[in-house]
Chain A
Amino acid sequence: MTEAGDSPCLEVRHLAKAFDGAVAVRDLSLTLERGKLLALLGPSGSGKTTTLRLLAGFESPESGQVLIDGEDVTRQNPVTRRCGMVFQHFALFPHLDVGRNVAFGLESRGVRGGERDRRVAEALALVELAGFERRRVDQLSGGQQQRVALARALAPEPRILLLDEPLSNLDPSLRERTRGELRALLHRIGITAVLVTHEQEEAFDLGDLTAVLREGRLEQLGPPEELYARPATSFVAGFIGQGSALPVAILGSEGNRTRVGLQGTEWWVEAPIPPGRGSRATLFLRPEAVALTAASAHTPSGEVVTRRFTGAVTLYRVSVPGGVIEVAADAAAARVGDRVGVTLRERAAGVHLFAADA
């Protein structure tokens, strides 16, 4: 959905990369419009950092292309790509002070003298470290180091900013505040950015779009609301938010409703039959889509194995034939060890059916 005549800021086409035969990224394609922030989200080993390094040019892909501003940079090395990068451990030059760290990229591009000093000061002011030029980097706090790394990456005015887990190296108490500052700054300067994270909250908070990666494959790309409400696979559903997945048999359908069988009991669920062959499927239920009821032969029933009080709701895990269902209910609904039944709420959102192998 690009404007006519304007190419997307970042375009990735069928990118693939393997290390010694182990596939890290497979057939990855995506586009990112100017000024948007993309979060690459996935568990460790999902290929998100490799993807970022492919964008930066530190790794070269087996196949596929990377285009920045419509220009094919796949065969360019990092030196000429003009991607700013914030490294996970910041990678500040320990032998240079703050000002010289920030000036480094400017000098590489031939910016010298007063112009360089002015832009260094500007970049430092942007991250609220004005006047820190002559400080040694090992005398800075973690949050300050992170901001210097950001200023250093931004000073040469890169075409795109890449951030590798930029908050993971900070204290938890500092992380939330820094995240807010980072979001405000990135939106203020309107730069196109790609961010790697393994935390869903961070991805949703910072990214306009989130790409969920799993074993090197792009599972789903979209705004946070869409990922939560309409997950494309049971992996996305499980990785984003809570819920339980159960194997079910498909017994029939009627419009947008599907009749499924769970170990002797049957349910009508508000979801279409998933594409693909076979009569097996995976039923995914958000905790708020189900409720507790009395145990009976007509509904999946079992023992409450854990009870977790989280404030607004209490989460119960009920062991039913074929799996465990997580149910949100009020604090007095049941105790651990009680036998209960699980029932679907009326017209509940948060019920998804996926093909059995997804």
Chain B
Amino acid sequence: MPDFRRRRAEWLGWGLLAFLAWLVVYPIVLVLIEGIRDGNGWSAEALHRFVVEPAEWRALWASLWLSVASVVAAAVIGVPLAFLVTRFAFPGRRLFSALLALPAVLPPLVGVVAFLFLYGESGFIAHIVRALFRVQEAPWRLEGAGAVLLVHAYSMYVYFYLFTRASLLSMDASVLEAAASLGARRWRTWWKVQVPLLRPALLGAGLLTFMTSLASFSAPYIFGGGFKVMTTQIVATRLNGDVRLAMVETLALTVVALVALLLFRRAEGHGHGRGTGKGVPPAPRAVRHRGVRALLPVLTGVVTLVMLLPHLTLLLVSFVPRGTWTVQALPPVYTSQNYVALAADPERLRPMVTSLWMATVSTLGAVLLALAAAALVVRRRVRAAGMLEGILALPWAVPGTVFAIALATAFSVHAPEAGRLVLVGTVWILPLAYLVRNLPITGRSLLAGFRQLDPSLAEAAATLGAGRIRTLVRITLPQLRPALAAGAALAFVTALGDFVTSIILYTFGSRPISMEILGSLRQSDVGVAAAYGVVLMGASGLVFFLAGDGRRVNG
């Protein structure tokens, strides 16, 4: 590479790093500083109030044990399911295998609302119980730590399921056969070979579940009741107007998240390299026992149904007119009026349009930034590469609530000389927040995409006389299409269904779908809330379908 181009790439690298630091790191640093300042200068007053308040420590402890428990519960559901659909042959195996992965594409708030409609005191199950036993009230309340944990297990098993399934499918069958031919019986092969080989997948799923659970807001917010975790505590404190205490709480949660991340990374570090094999995965085993063979599809079908029941309930409720489902087991009336209301009422249509354009803009931004960063890191190998990669991944380790607070802090003051603008209260703060939160998603997929590219393809294009733009458009981007599609789809869906940053940063004029769902629930307009949920579900599913299609076309 000529010298001047090398230098230009370096400058671009540092420039991009500075820009990302301003977007990602600077707001968090501001929160840290303002947490220990007051009007008169440095002060540990807020910090002191945090330390001496037992409720704060309770919330922090609750966040921690809830996350650990969620990891265990999600693993207990997800890992056996993954084994079931990969290692045993039975009718319907492929269908169940795909259906069980579905919850992965749904926004968390939709899952939580669907759960409410299914298991809540006035939900579907409660209706059936009341009709069957002729009781006035459902004999349970879906509230507190148990309810939150249940929702977490239900929605996060999918991480363990997907990671374990992928790992089982990429396992070299001959490694397991080698153990057998060396005289290892089934349990020994299981403990000494199978489980250690699954370790990276289990750790990865564990980390993802832990972080998601630590950052989880929708479930504790709606089902928590008196059970407070750090995320709900932060929002409550801020709504009470105690901004500085909220900042200290934010700091505490960030520290927990980063420590957890470090511990997981250390555990991963003890792992091993890739296997020597390039073999094929073990074929699903036919079940010999006739009774078990007949039972397997039934059992898997029931489990799949139970896992998807919340979303089916959401669909059902979206067709029920307001106030018609009272004491019956099943809704007596079905209409499409809830959907008509979404389309006909401009006030109801607006959140959808808002969410759509915000998700589009933020996804485009996150993709472009990630594309530039990945090209500089992988192709140009600029000196800032390590830091660029780290900064792209950082928002992932920081809970969404923390980022929302940080952005609300940084962009509420007009001080251009300090890199601060007033964006809070404008329509631009939410797309910016979505963009920052989506950087890890687009960043990871594009870095991986670039690393899989064969650099000699671009070199071949150059020897054939293609300029940089032509090479990018004709060679590099088409090759990156699967990575682009996957990253963009996930980012778009995350932004479309976002709840945790929206609730802190939204304005009434630019409220997204999630806030409208919450509003409809508060007004007991259950059908409309469900219809919004179904629209989100449909849009998410469609985006993933289209992105998956792109991957297939690409081979």
Contact = CB atoms under 8 A, between A and B. Distances in A.
A91 B272 contact: no
Contacts of A137: 276
Interface string A127-169: 0000000001111000001000000110010000000000000
A78 B172 contact: no
A85 B183 contact: no
B278 interface: yes
A167 to B, nearest CB: 15
Give the most central of A77, A89, A109: most B CB within 10 Å.
A89
A350 interface: no
Nearest to B188: A108
B521 interface: no
Given A82-B183, A91-B177, A94-B197, A138 B274 contact: yes
Contact of B183 (A56, A92, A109): A109
A138 B272 contact: yes
B181 A89 contact: no
Contact of A87 (B174, B185, B193, B199): B174
Given A87-B174, A95-B272, A153-B182, 19 more contacts: A57-B181, A58-B181, A78-B181, A79-B180, A79-B183, A84-B181, A85-B177, A85-B181, A87-B177, A91-B175, A93-B275, A104-B192, A105-B182, A108-B188, A136-B273, A138-B272, A138-B275, A145-B276, A156-B182
Nearest to A85: B181
A156 B276 CA distance: 22
A93 B193 CA distance: 7
Contacts of B272: 94-95, 136, 138
B535 interface: no
Interface of A: 56-58, 77-85, 87-96, 104-105, 108-109, 136-139, 145, 152-153, 156
B175 to A, nearest CB: 5
Interface in B39-82: none
Contacts of B197: 94-95
A47 to B, nearest CB: 18
Contacts of B277: 87, 89-92
B179 interface: yes
B180 A78 contact: yes
Contacts, number: 101
Contact of A89 (B188, B273, B276): B276
A355 B185 CA distance: 50
A153 B177 CA distance: 12
Contact of B279 (A84, A89, A105, A136): A89
Interface in B2-51: none
Contacts of A139: 273
Contacts of A156: 182-183
A116 to B, nearest CB: 13
Contact of B177 (A78, A95, A105, A138): A78
Interface in B160-195: 172, 174-175, 177-185, 188, 192-193
Contacts of B199: 95
A137 B172 CA distance: 15
List the 9 closest pairs (A to B, CB-CB), nearest first: A105-B182, A108-B183, A138-B273, A91-B174, A94-B275, A89-B277, A95-B196, A78-B180, A91-B178
A140 to B, nearest CB: 8
B168 to A, nearest CB: 15
A18 B193 CA distance: 30
Contacts of B174: 87-89, 91
Interface in B272-294: 272-279
A152 B178 CA distance: 9
A83 B177 CA distance: 12
Given A108-B188, A137-B276, A138-B274, A93 B183 contact: no
Given A108-B188, A136-B273, A138-B274, A93 B279 contact: no
A94 B273 contact: yes
17 contacts: A58-B180, A78-B181, A79-B184, A81-B181, A85-B177, A85-B178, A87-B279, A89-B172, A89-B174, A93-B193, A93-B196, A94-B272, A104-B192, A108-B188, A109-B183, A136-B273, A138-B276
A93 B277 CA distance: 9
Q: Which residue of B182, B188, B273 has the most chain A CB atoms within 10 A of its CB atom? A: B182
B182 A90 contact: no
B182 A94 contact: no
Contacts of B188: 108
Interface in B197-232: 197, 199
Contacts of A108: 182-185, 188
Contacts of A83: 181
Contacts of A56: 177, 181
Nearest to B186: A79
A65 B273 CA distance: 41
